Amino acid sequence: MKYMFVILMSLLAIAALITRWTAPDARSDVPVLYWATDPNPARIEQIRLFHEWLVEEGHTDENGGPAIELRLDTVSGDPQKLIIQGVSGVAADIMDRGVPALEAYGLLVDITDEAEQMGFGLDQTFPALGEALTVNNRQYGFPCNVATVNFWVNKDAFERVGMDPPPQSWDFETFERIGKEFVKRANPPGERQTVFFCNALTDWYGTMVMSVMMRSLGLDIFNETVTASALDDERFARVLSLLYKWTYEDRILPTAADVASISGGAGYGGAEFSMFSEGKYGMMSSGRWCLIRLREFENPPNLSISQFPCDQFDNANILTRAAGVYAGSAQQDKAMLFFEFLASEKYNMHIVESADSQPPNPRFTQTEAFLRPAEYPHEWGTHETIARIARTSAIADARCPYASEGSVYRALVRAHQEVMANRETPEEAAALAAQRINDDIQLNLAQRPALKERHDADSIIQRKIEDLLEQGEPIPQEWIRNPFHRAYYAEKGLLQP
Amino acid sequence: MSDAPTHRRAETRRLLQGLAFLSPNIIGFMMFTFLPLLFSLFLAFSNWDLRIHNMFHEERLSWVALENFTRLLQDPDFWRYLRNTLFLMMGIPLGIAGSLLAAILLSKDLSGGTRTSRVRIAGIALMTSLVMLGSLGILLVMGFRVTGMMLLIGSLACTVLIGGSIGGATIYRTLFFLPHFTAGVATFLLWKKLYSPQTGPINHGLRPLLENFGAVIVRLPDALIQGGLWLGMAAMAAVFMRGLLFLRNGWRDGELGGNAIITGGLLLILPVCCALFWLTLAPAAYALVTVAVLALIVLCGRDFTRPRAFTCPASEGTGVALLSGAFLMVLGFMFLGLSNVAYALPEMAQDGLTPPEWLTDYDWAKPAIMIMALWMAIGSNNMLLYLAGLSNVPPELQEAADIDGASGLQRFWHVTWPQLAPITFFIVIMSVIGGLQGGFEMARTMTKGGPAGSTTTLSYYVYTEGFETGRLGYASAVAWTLFLMVLVATLFNWKFGSRRTND
């Protein structure tokens, strides 16, 4: 038996050595950088382009090949995995799963100086993204792409039922009226409903649409100084109540049961693209990345863009898949080259052509290749609209240093689900959501005295803001930390010049 | 004398060899289980938050004593998810009963018998194969329509039955055990598809049944429908009565002590108490329940207060009373539920009866998971353990009972069941541990804890707090509270469970 034991041990040791020897790192002649990202097929081409760009820019090894090898780590693309790996010191060198969230754990390097020197500063991207790329006025990331999530309209589906496509911007009532008319015309009476106005606005998409609708009513998740949640408000309750009505009473949005039957998902392999393409959904909420899939269809539909419905204050969201450099990376200097690449024309034009959302630099959204891609005339008009929205009415999410991003997201999703499941009234759900976020803030403050000091100071300012608002007087811009309130009060003329 | 040092050396060598063989496991256990366990205990008393306590942030870790535990007691989510966990655990008695039933069935000789009958079975098998081929054809030609799918499922079921008839218990044993060695996530995804509200085969099967049933219900006189309510109530009363009689007989024969009577009685009375709350709209049922309960209490109370011929310690038979009481309690709740359904049926049928939306419905998500867990439990290790236990029951005991004129049920209750006591004890402990710790994979794969947190269990909560929010200290406190619950449940089982065949 002991010989068997020794033999097995030896075999395992040999297997371990072989594994190590054949591991990718061991076989590379140049330094290897790992990029933790999502499993989008477009990443393969982006890596190829990066290697090509390195050679073009003279970053080569002695054989003339690229001086760095960039490899994908899509397995670690899940934010939870990335965080656990990051705090354990073994994460990928470059990560693009949410700059503020990763920075909260201290996982990202401050790249402000390098960005200025190497040309990937904030001036090279959309102005509205400042909030998503910086913390305390220091830059921690640069966009791999930029998106505004809107409704992509299947114009053919509307034409088939004898309707004009929806307008680019609309209020709640118009959205409801057109939606009801569309599902009425598209579904034969007496049969199970199979056509919906748009895909399910739940989970992540649910938070997107809720945020835009709330903001259009003058409300955001957080108050002006982001010291507390403002969700315990009748305006949030109204949004929840409308979503319930559209889903269960008007039946213009699919229910969770409808979605479960469709097995849909708007990811890269989801069935929602087929549903949209076939006209089963008149519209689909997505960023420009949906075109990657839609272009694969034999007869893609003619498209237009409609914003999420808004009340008085017309607004849209703006998101970015921003990359940052891992603070534990041994090759931070080399990783900076990747950011230089992200700001380059080569990469921006690749994003333009591949439709992997909008390019990091808004300059490239003015190009003919972006506005009117020759091969896809059915998309013309959409690109121009989304680029305009990103430049004009889009507002980034407020970043609250006192609350954890996960808790905020879960509070919103839960409020939505509780209303949809008839467990709480919209008013109760709104109050509970605010309470959950505020409890999370208090818990964080109790643990971090330094943060509490800042919170106390900001809370004093918050009271001053509320006093000024009560008196109807303008507020100093520097007091406001929430980007929504800056834009909202500016439009209402309530901001001090 | 000169042999002693040599002997000692040989002993030492053997000890070292033994340790060398064991060392990989011991080292692995220490490094990856024991030390992390100790570490997590330390974490439970600290304020470890991954966002501020990691290699890139140098904030000091603080000892917070019992703060995490006191917060936990005030956390409404913790109590809510504990309730979810306990609700899902209500399926454990049914799972154990199911696996025992499966084991009993599989311990029988199920083969076809004579040559002629085997030929007949083979003929049926051929026909089933043709039906299966036909249904596959329909699936391919008509684009996987429902009819073809249902035919395929039906013919597969026939094949299983016929295969079992030809191949005997081995085929069934393999099939029953199949869920256990199928990967969990694959099973969950499969069930998710089965539960699909519009396109899933379960609802496809239920929909026409319910539609026709609803149409019939609407036409029936209300009084007849209300009979269902009475039937359900009567069944629940019968279960309650059976339980009380069991307790009374056990008490009288000196098999159950005072603790057993109290524990079993409390479990039995629970559905009845709930009935009094739930059925306030049906005064007749309310009266029936009250009268039945009072009558039975009076009847049995007389026996409990009299001095008995055979005495026993107070803790005697508590485990048996607990298990039987839990099983009858679940049964009572089931009948109560059915009578409630009967009560509400005419109104529900007005708009037509529709199948449940299962995983996407707040009220049905937990039962849906319970049904799936029940399916998994029936064909689990428990079934194998019972099978092994059944084969070890001495046949002479069965024969003796047979000679004494015991019926099949009596033989099972008085001979087989007591012989299975050690196995049942083990299964109950493992099931309770599994139940308290479980639910994570199901929730993560099938519902993400929703809708609105209805399927979030404590283990899933540990994950979200630990890895989504980053509060490792608090997550550890929840995990250790879970451990304490498991420990208490195990100690309770240990103290009161029937560990030996002669208990």
A333-378 residue pLDDT tens: 999 999 999 999 999 999 999 999 999 999 999 999 999 999 999 9
Alpha helices in B168-282 (DSSP H): 169-181, 184-194, 201-219, 222-252, 258-278
For residue B60, the SS3 value is coil
Is the pLDDT score of B436 beyond 50? yes
Say what the pLDDT of residue B284 is. Answer: 61
Does B468 contact A406 at a Cβ distance shorter than 8 Å?
yes
Q: What is the pTM assigned to this prediction?
A: 0.83
Reported as a single tens digit per residue, the pLDDT across A168-219 is 999 999 999 999 999 999 999 888 888 999 998 988 899 999 999 999 999 9
Reported as a single tens digit per residue, the pLDDT across B255-295 is 888 888 888 888 888 888 887 776 555 566 667 667 777 77
Say what the pLDDT of residue B503 is. Answer: 46
Mutation to test the A interface, candidates B22, B51, B146, B462, most A Cβ within 10 Å = B51
Which residue of chain A has the CA closest to B467?
A80
Strands A316-317 and A394-395: parallel
Q: Which residue has the tokens 């957080």?
A: A222
Q: Across residues B380-390, what is the average pLDDT?
A: 89
Q: Does B277 touch chain A (CB under 8 A)?
A: no
Q: Does A104 touch chain B (CB under 8 A)?
A: yes
CA B52 to chain centre: 41
Chain B positions touching A406 (Cβ under 8 A) are: 464, 468-470
Q: Does A495 touch chain B (CB under 8 A)?
A: no
Q: Which one of A420, A421, A447 has the shortest CB-CB distance to B47?
A: A447
Q: Across residues A110-126, what is the average pLDDT?
A: 93
Does B199 contact A261 at a Cβ distance shorter than 8 Å?
yes
Q: Does A328 touch chain B (CB under 8 A)?
A: yes
Is the pLDDT score of B403 beyond 50? yes
Regarding predicted confidence, which is higher, B250 or B145? B250
Does A448 contact B47 at a Cβ distance shorter than 8 Å?
no
Question: How many C-beta atoms lie closer than 10 Å to residue A39's C-beta?
Answer: 12
Say what the pLDDT of residue B185 is. Answer: 84
Distance CA A208, CA A224 (A): 19
Does A410 contact B464 at a Cβ distance shorter than 8 Å?
yes
Say what the pLDDT of residue B348 is. Answer: 79
Say what the pLDDT of residue B56 is. Answer: 87
Q: Across residues A147-167, what is the average pLDDT?
A: 96
Distance of residue B370 Cα from the nearest chain A Cα, in angstroms: 19
Reported as a single tens digit per residue, the pLDDT across A135-155 is 888 999 999 999 999 999 999
Does A257 contact B360 at a Cβ distance shorter than 8 Å?
yes
Q: Which one of B49, B357, B469 has the shortest CB-CB distance to A447?
A: B49
Q: Which one of A2, A87, A421 has the shortest CB-CB distance to B451?
A: A421
Q: Which one of B51, B195, B361 has the shortest CB-CB distance to A105?
A: B51
Does B200 contact A89 at a Cβ distance shorter than 8 Å?
no
> How many cross-chain Cβ pairs, A to B, lie less than 8 Å apart?
97
Q: Across residues B249-259, what is the average pLDDT?
A: 84
Reported as a single tens digit per residue, the pLDDT across A220-272 is 999 999 999 999 999 999 999 999 999 999 999 999 888 887 755 445 556 78
Say what the pLDDT of residue A258 is. Answer: 86
Say what the pLDDT of residue B114 is. Answer: 62
Q: Does A92 touch chain B (CB under 8 A)?
A: no
Chain A positions touching B360 (Cβ under 8 A) are: 255-257, 259-260
Q: pLDDT band at B52, cuts 50/70/90?
A: confident
Is the pLDDT score of B43 beyond 60? yes
Tell the burial category of A468 from Cβ atoms under 10 Å away from its Cβ (0-12, 13-18, 19+): middle
Does A105 contact B57 at a Cβ distance shorter than 8 Å?
yes
Q: Which one of B451, B452, B470 has the shortest CB-CB distance to A404?
A: B470
Question: In whole numbers, what is the pLDDT of chain B averaged over residues?
Answer: 82
Lowest mean pLDDT among A68-77, A188-197, A260-269, A391-400: A260-269
HEC sequence for chain A: CHHHHHHHHHHHHHHHHHHHHHCHHHHCCCCEEEEECCCCCHHHHHHHHHHHHHHHCCCECCCCCECCEEEEECHHHCHHHHHHHHHHCCCCCEECCCHHHHHHCCCECCCHHHHHHHCCCHHHCCHHHHHHHEECCEECCEEEEEECCEEEEEHHHHHHCCCCCCCCCCCHHHHHHHHHHHHHHHCCCCCCCCCEEECCCCHHHHHHHHHHHHHHCCCCCECCCCCCECCCCHHHHHHHHHHHHHHHHCCCCCCHHHHHHHCCCCCCCCCHHHHHHHCCEEEEEECCCHHHHHCCCCCCCCEEEECCCCCCCCCEECEEEEEEEECCCCCHHHHHHHHHHHCCHHHHHHHHHHCCCECCCHHHHHCHHHHCCCCCHHHCCHHHHHHHHHHCCEECCCCCCCCCHHHHHHHHHHHHHHHHCCCCCHHHHHHHHHHHHHHHHHHHHHHCHHHHHHHHHHHHHHHHHHHHHHHCCCECHHHCCCHHHHHHHHHHCCECC
Chain A positions touching B47 (Cβ under 8 A) are: 447
Lowest mean pLDDT among A29-33, A218-222, B299-303: B299-303
Q: Which one of A106, A259, A418 has the shortest CB-CB distance to B452?
A: A418
Distance of residue A264 Cα from the nearest chain B Cα, in angstroms: 12
CA distances from A264 to A58, A88, A267, A402, B315 (A): 46, 35, 9, 35, 56
Does B195 contact A260 at a Cβ distance shorter than 8 Å?
yes
Reported as a single tens digit per residue, the pLDDT across B334-374 is 888 888 888 777 777 777 788 898 998 998 999 999 999 88
Which residue of chain B has the CA closest to A417?
B452
Q: Does A305 touch chain B (CB under 8 A)?
A: no
Say what the pLDDT of residue B422 is. Answer: 87
Distance of residue B318 Cα from the nearest chain A Cα, in angstroms: 39
Reported as a single tens digit per residue, the pLDDT across A465-492 is 999 999 999 999 999 999 999 999 999 9
Q: Does B450 touch chain A (CB under 8 A)?
A: yes
Q: Which residue has the tokens 């330390």?
A: B42
Does B55 contact A421 at a Cβ distance shorter than 8 Å?
no
Q: Does A410 touch chain B (CB under 8 A)?
A: yes
The angle formed by the CA atoms of residues A126, A130 and A131, to the nearest 5 degrees, is 130
Does B198 contact A261 at a Cβ distance shorter than 8 Å?
yes
Chain A positions touching B446 (Cβ under 8 A) are: none
Reported as a single tens digit per residue, the pLDDT across B160-208 is 777 666 666 777 777 777 777 777 788 888 888 888 888 788 888 888 8
Q: Across residues A380-407, what is the average pLDDT?
A: 92
Does B198 contact A192 at a Cβ distance shorter than 8 Å?
yes
Which residue of chain A has the CA closest to B449?
A414
Q: Does A27 touch chain B (CB under 8 A)?
A: no
Say what the pLDDT of residue A405 is. Answer: 86
Instruction: Specify the DSSP class assigned to residue B464.
Output: I
Distance CA B239, CA B243 (A): 6
Does B51 contact A410 at a Cβ distance shorter than 8 Å?
no
CA A447 to chain centre: 29
Which residue of chain A has the CA closest to B463?
A80
Does B452 contact A421 at a Cβ distance shorter than 8 Å?
yes
Distance of residue B348 Cα from the nearest chain A Cα, in angstroms: 18
Q: Does B421 touch chain A (CB under 8 A)?
A: no
Does B452 contact A423 at a Cβ distance shorter than 8 Å?
yes
Is the pLDDT score of B2 beyond 60? no
Q: Does B17 touch chain A (CB under 8 A)?
A: yes
Which residue of chain B has the CA closest to A421?
B362
Positive or negative, the Cα torsion across A122, A125, A129, A133?
A: negative
Percent of chain B with pLDDT over 90: 19
Reported as a single tens digit per residue, the pLDDT across B72-119 is 999 999 999 999 999 998 888 888 988 998 888 888 766 555 666 667
Q: Does A312 touch chain B (CB under 8 A)?
A: no
Lowest mean pLDDT among A265-274, A299-308, B35-44, B459-468: A265-274
Query: What contacts A240, CB < 8 A, 6 or more positions away?
Result: A210, A415, A416, A419, A426, A429, A430
